[in-house]
């Protein structure tokens, strides 16, 4: 947490931008905690809310675009070789590939909110040669809502943010599991609903 605080106050909006680029690419940056912190510091008046939102958004879309380009240029062997060094295990990559083959561009839209997917989905989109315009539309919209949700959550929580942050750190895996489960249930529901209409 102190590292994030130092990054924000020492390097300002550029620090926020770089941290989000690195986090999306796969560096060990706690993205959600960073965005919540940004919102909280905006609430305290230490950073400007709009500028912080723009910096966070630009960092997110530049990060996932770099991932896409690396995937398109270097392919799956690059991801398998260097992924584990950036918290992207072979198991996680394999699961993400399966999801991407089923959901494709829609996964770019919601992938930011799914643990383990945010850091891989850009690479997979590039590896599969997904049309760049489609990639931009879905991933950039997804990034917008992801950044907006977490930064504004940190801002709105205000004085209660410290206690929420502690709870988030303690129960983050439970939160991730719950959110992932809800998204999975929604996807299954719409899949069978669509399938039922075709019959």
How do the domains of the chain map onto residue ranges? 2-159
Kindly report, residue by residue over 157-180, the tens digit of the pLDDT: 876 656 666 666 655 556 566 766
pTM of the entire structure?
0.72
For 192, half-sphere exposure in the C-beta direction (CA atoms, 13 angstrom radius) is: 5
Predicted local distance difference test score (pLDDT) of residue 163: 66
Predicted local distance difference test score (pLDDT) of residue 105: 75
Q: What is the mean pLDDT of residues 60-77?
A: 87
* Range scoring the smallest mean pLDDT among 5-14, 59-68, 74-83, 123-132: 74-83
Contacts of 96-103 with C-beta under 8 Å, sequence gap 24+, read 96/120, 96/121, 96/124, 97/124, 100/124, 100/125, 100/128, 103/187
Q: What is the mean pLDDT of residues 19-45?
A: 87
Predicted local distance difference test score (pLDDT) of residue 189: 66
Q: In the structure encoding, which two tokens stand for residue 198, read together?
A: 């075709």
């Amino acid at each position: 947490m102190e590292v994030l605080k130092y990054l924000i106050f020492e390097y300002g909006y550029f620090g926020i931008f770089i941290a989000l680029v690195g986090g999306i690419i796969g560096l060990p940056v706690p993205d959600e905690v960073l965005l919540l912190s940004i919102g909280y510091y905006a609430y305290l008046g230490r950073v400007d809310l709009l500028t912080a939102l723009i910096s966070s958004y630009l960092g997110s879309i530049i990060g996932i675009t770099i991932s896409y380009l690396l995937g398109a240029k270097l392919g799956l062997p690059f991801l398998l070789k260097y992924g584990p060094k950036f918290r992207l295990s072979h198991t996680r990559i394999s699961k993400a590939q399966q999801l991407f083959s089923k959901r494709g561009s829609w996964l770019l839209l919601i992938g930011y909110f799914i643990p383990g997917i945010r850091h891989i989905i850009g690479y997979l989109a590039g590896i599969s040669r997904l049309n760049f315009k489609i990639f931009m539309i879905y991933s950039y919209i997804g990034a917008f809502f992801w950044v907006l949700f977490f930064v504004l959550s940190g801002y709105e929580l205000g004085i209660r943010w410290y206690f929420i942050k502690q709870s988030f750190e303690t129960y983050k895996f439970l939160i991730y599991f719950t959110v992932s489960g809800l998204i999975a249930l929604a996807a299954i529901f719409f899949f069978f609903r669509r399938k039922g209409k075709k019959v």
